[in-house]
Amino acid sequence: MNFYNVATEWCADLPNYGATYNSYVYQHACDYTSGDNQQWEIVPTRSVDVGGTRQDLFLIRNVKSRQCMDLPGSGANPATTPIWMHKCIATDDNQEWFFMPGNSGGWYYVNLAANMCLDVPGWARDGSDKGNPNPLTIYPCWDKDWAFDGADDHLWILRQLA
C-alpha cells in the first residue's frame, strides 16, 4: 500500500529505491508499481488506552527495506523531528502509531510516544509542503486556523497497488 497525502497528493517514499538504517522518509510523486520503495504495510503490535479511548497500535514497515518508520532515540520527540527508518522494534520504542479518522476520507497517523501526527513540512494553505523531496516529520495534529478544516497536510490514505 502507498501512504498517500491528501493535501500534497504525493506518497511517503524512501530515497534511491531502498534505504539504510537512519535514512529519512520523504514524500515523492506516487508510484503505484511494486518496483519502487513506496510500498508500506501496517504491522499490529498491541492495544493501549490513549486519553480514555482504546487504540490499536501498529508499526509502519517498508515492504522493500523491512525497516520501520522511527523517531530518534526512544520516548517523546519535539515537533518537526524528522522520521527515519530503523530496525523494527515492537514495543518500548517510538515506532508505534495509531490512527484517528479525519475529514476528506483521510486518517491522522499519530505517534504514540510523541502524541503528534505524521506531517509533511510546510503548509497546505500556501503550497510550501509540495516540494520534492520534503522529509516527513511529526507535528501537532490539528489547529482550527489551518487549511483542510484544520488538518493541514496531516491526513493520509492507504492506497492499494493497481
Task: Please write the tens of the pLDDT for every residue from 135-160.
Answer: 899 999 988 777 667 778 899 999 98
The answer, as to whether pTM is greater than 0.75, is yes
CATH code for position 62: 2.80.10.50
pLDDT tens for each residue of the chain, 162 residues long: 999 999 999 999 998 876 677 899 999 989 888 777 899 999 999 999 999 999 999 999 999 899 999 999 888 899 999 999 999 987 767 999 999 998 778 999 999 999 999 999 988 888 888 876 778 999 999 887 776 677 788 999 999 876
How many C-beta neighbours within 10 Å does residue 76 have?
Answer: 15
The domain of 80 spans 2-159
CA angle 110, 43, 83 (to 5 degrees): 45
CA torsion 97-98-101-105 (nearest 10°) is 50
C-alpha cell at 47: 492495544
Nearest to 125 by CA among 155, 150, 142: 150
How many domains does the chain divide into? 1
Do residues 67 and 86 lie in contact, with contact meaning Cβ atoms separated by under 8 Å? yes
